Amino acid sequence: MLEGKKIVLGVSGSIAAYKSALLVRLLVKAGAEVQVVMTDDATAFITPLTLSTLSKRPVFVEYYKPETGEWNNHVDLALWADMMIIAPASANTIAKMANGLCDNLLMAVYLSAKCPVYFAPAMDLDMWKHHATQENVIRLKQFGIGIIQPGTGELASGLHGEGRMAEPEEIAEFISTEIKKKLPLKGEKILVTAGPTYEAIDPVRFIGNHSSGKMGFAIADRFAELGANVTLISGPSAQKSKFKIERIDVTSAAEMLEACQLHFADAKACVMSAAVADYTPEIVADKKIKKQEDRFNIDLKKTVDILKTLGSVKHDGQILVGFALETHNEEQNAIGKLQSKNLDLIILNSLNDAGAGFQTDTNKITMIDRELMSTVFELKNKDEVAIDICKKVIELMNA
């Protein structure tokens, strides 16, 4: 859940600041980009060098660097962030947050933040229980600021009770859970196919195509990023998923059909981006065919149309998306496929468009829905194309 997330980590003046080092390490290890902003008091407990080394980014403490006059722009920092975590949040920092005081860079970033903000209190028992602190916490909750509850245990004063900052592992898990709660496809089952199929001629030769699987893998990753439980059925491909995805590897069209039939019924949406062979050898030789004749013929038979098969059993509320890679009569052919196979959406590619098609990092698509509403997109990176496709699928799911 933290993969690719941009996180501003605020560190205020508390003995618990030593835990921030492990927190930074956990967030970075989970794939997040972490920008640390410290108060001046926090530097007495842990050095900026430590947190800079772990985050692989410079740590910001002051509004500007006196030696160069360079400004640490608090607005840019706030806009950059997908979320902001203040850990540890001392009683003093919590009071400033609740009352809009802005006497350091951290508070300037906080007051400029439009992203979700969370704070992990860290202080002694009596400070935490004090009416003023509790009123400030209530006020922050009313602002929509999320609290990561302090734990109970031995405190720096020697007292035992509530007030110690949550452990770094607990904070990282808390943030991951919060992200999951807000994802639009949380818990939805999505089926995606990708890559080519290889139809065997003999033990060493096959009929195939040039599909790399890049588009399908990008779509699967985007769905996973949006919280879906993704099953990816892939033909032979060197691509790897960035997220935790159930991957089923197949080789032939028959194997892909079998896998799709096994998983389609439970899927809320299915995006069939695989380039499945239309024909397969009628007879597969059990030994390597030797080169003897000047001419060699292979009898082919049609493969089962996976997309049409799924379209025939699609239930109400289920979204089925197909792809059409065309060289001529592009829109006419795509619409024919959309209607004959009972699809909700067809993604049209044309090999006449430079930068589109197999083996490229870019794609240019046109989306056509059941009402024959057509949306043309410019040439984009396939990751960006995946965002557009998934956005449209969500719209159809919510319609």
Q: Which residues are annotated as a binding site for CTP?
A: 278, 288, 323, 337, 341
Question: Phi, psi (5° rounding) for residue 47?
Answer: -80, 145
Q: Is 209 a catalytic residue?
A: yes
Catalytic residue among 72, 73, 92, 209: 209
Strand order in the sheet with 33-38: 33-38, 6-11, 83-89, 117-121, 146-147
User: How many helices and strands in the chain, by DSSP H and E?
Assistant: 13, 23
Cβ partners under 8 Å of residue 63, min gap 6: 71, 72, 74, 105, 108
Of 235, 12, 218, 220, the C-alpha closest to 105 is: 12
| Element housing 193 (H / E) | strand 189-194
Taking the C-alpha atoms of residue 114 and residue 106, their distance in angstroms, rounded to an integer, is 14
Of 264, 188, 199, 198, the C-alpha closest to 233 is: 264
DSSP character string of 243-284: S--EEEE--SHHHHHHHHHHHSTT-SEEEE--B--SEEESS-
Instruction: Name the residue type at position 95.
Output: A
Q: State the residue for tokens 């980009």.
A: 33
Query: What angle separates helix 105-112 from helix 91-99, to the nearest 10 degrees?
Result: 40
Per-residue tokens: 82: 């997908």
For 355-380, b where at least 16 C-beta lie within 10 A, e where not — what string? ebbbebebbbbbbbbeeeeeeeeeeb
Of 65, 58, 75, 146, the C-alpha closest to 110 is: 75
Per-residue tokens: 303: 């493969």
Taking the C-alpha atoms of residue 247 and residue 381, their distance in angstroms, rounded to an integer, is 23
Instruction: Name the residue type at position 60.
Output: F
Of 159, 109, 108, 158, the C-alpha closest to 129 is: 159
**Catalytic machinery residues:** 209
